[in-house]
Structure 1
């Protein structure tokens, strides 16, 4: 049996050219649980423009149902709130800011960046809505100061998923009006500085928060968000199956066995499907990196003969 506790102990965050913090909320097995560290989490995800509409529909909760994201409880969507309300459609605002700045764009230009800010689930336990709002207001202030209020498309806090989180979307315009996500977000070294600065800023008011770990230091790989959510779901199912099996005794063996078999019939096909998708994702990732490495080597200037 594949040990899915990997996904519980080391949650994997999706990434697309952004920062790589990963929270480690502790692990649980056989009824034992480790300490529950509380981490501040910051993540960037670059977008070239086309995904603006579906991203807007998700962030602004414009759909009645979200089959692709079972974590959303639409009955709680009324508790979501904005720190910065969008001025119309995301796409129109993004295009307007780029045109105002007089920037030329290419097909591969990053037109906007989606930022996710949250903390380990344990951080929010026992906190009132007012306290949660204050946390995200401070987090948003950190970003707004760095990327410019005029470039913020939207900043919305989702309270209708398992862990409260902020989605702050912005147009990556520099102070001299250049569209350059690379300069704003930077390379891995700069991403680490983003993480350091964010933690330093947040810990002034929330001293219990620990700094998130970066993939460059942990060596952990990243998978798409949809696979991350599947991993979390499968991990929970696996723990439920083990709990059922651990609870078996001579008096309830027949009933517990049927329960476990029923859960296994549901879990196993999902696990096989997930494993296949994960293998394919990793394979494609390796192929891309090989091509990039090969291209870089081919572009190196030839050494002058002495």
Structure 2
């Protein structure tokens, strides 16, 4: 299936999990949303009568901002406003489980959180909250992307080195296999032809622009081929007529 609109592609591609990289300045707002720290929600899909169903899967008694600030004190992070110091995955409950019992839905999100902890380091996690009070249940998982800097013998924040293209390309399949392994009721899986490893809207648009450029280039090549075929046809006809003329003479 070809996606002629990057907007349509984006809306259809990330039905299961979506990654976003965030600066430090975005953390307070994310914490308010994740932890429901206000009763005045701008998101009209939030049903406050169901908020009590939400789950905080972090095991300590702290909060997202405290965990984030404490962790940044333990690792090196460049003092720049544009540094992506926090990564967030939103993992949506698969359609096959929307009618499943609450216990199975909860088990799905707990297994997903365990997968994310293993993949990115539980020590780097600062939030793992399940929202049942919106249209579709989903997990917000936030972590500080940390790697070990061998040259300087210290841990540092580096979204670029943690969230590589390989990580994004293998994420959905790895999560799918993990869930199938640990959840007996999970059979259908999350992978489909719409689940592709693009990181954000800008990247999708970039590839869409590249595709359109290649499409235009291909059309030009095809026009050139047709023009040359026409010349060859005319030349062949002229040669044939020349041979016939010589025979009659």
> With structure 1 as the length reference, what TM-score do the two structures score?
0.55
Change (3 A) 1:222 1:106: closer
Alpha carbons of 1:146 and 1:81: their partners in 2 closer, same or farther (altered >3 Å)? same
Separation in 2, partners of 1:158, 1:216: 24
| Corresponding residue for residue 51 of structure 1 | 26
2:48 pairs with 1:74: yes
Aligned to 2:189: 209
Matched, 1:22 2:3: no
Matches within 5 A, 1:1-306: 12=11, 21-23=13-15, 41-66=16-41, 68-84=42-58, 88-120=62-94, 122-175=95-148, 177-187=155-165, 189-204=166-181, 205=183, 206-212=186-192, 213-215=194-196, 222=201
How many residues of Structure 1 are paired with residues of Structure 2 in the alignment? 192
Give the Å deviation of 1:109. Answer: 1.2
CA distance in 2, matches of 1:201, 1:174: 23
Q: Give the Cα separation in 1 of the matches to 2:49 and 2:29.
A: 21
* Inter-CA distance 84–76: structure 2 relative to 1 (3 Å threshold): same
- State which structure, 1 or 2, has the greater radius of gyration over its C-alpha atoms: 2
The unaligned stretches of length 5 or more in structure 1 are 1-5, 14-20, 24-40, 224-281, 291-306
> d(CA) in 1 for partners of 2:162 and 2:62?
25
Shift >4 Å, 4+ stretches: none
The alpha-carbon distance between structure 1 residues 140 and 175, as it changes in their structure 2 partners (threshold 3 A), is: farther
SS in 1 for 2:118: helix
Q: CA RMSD, aligned part only?
A: 3.0
**How much has 1:118 moved relative to structure 2?**
1.7
- Relative to the length of structure 2, the TM-score reads 0.67
State the shift of 1:10 in Å: 6.5
Structure 2 unaligned blocks of 5 or more: 150-154, 211-249
Q: Please tell me whether the aligned partners of residues 172 and 190 of structure 2 are also in contact (alpha carbons under 8 angstroms).
A: no
Aligned partner of residue 154 in structure 1, secondary structure: strand
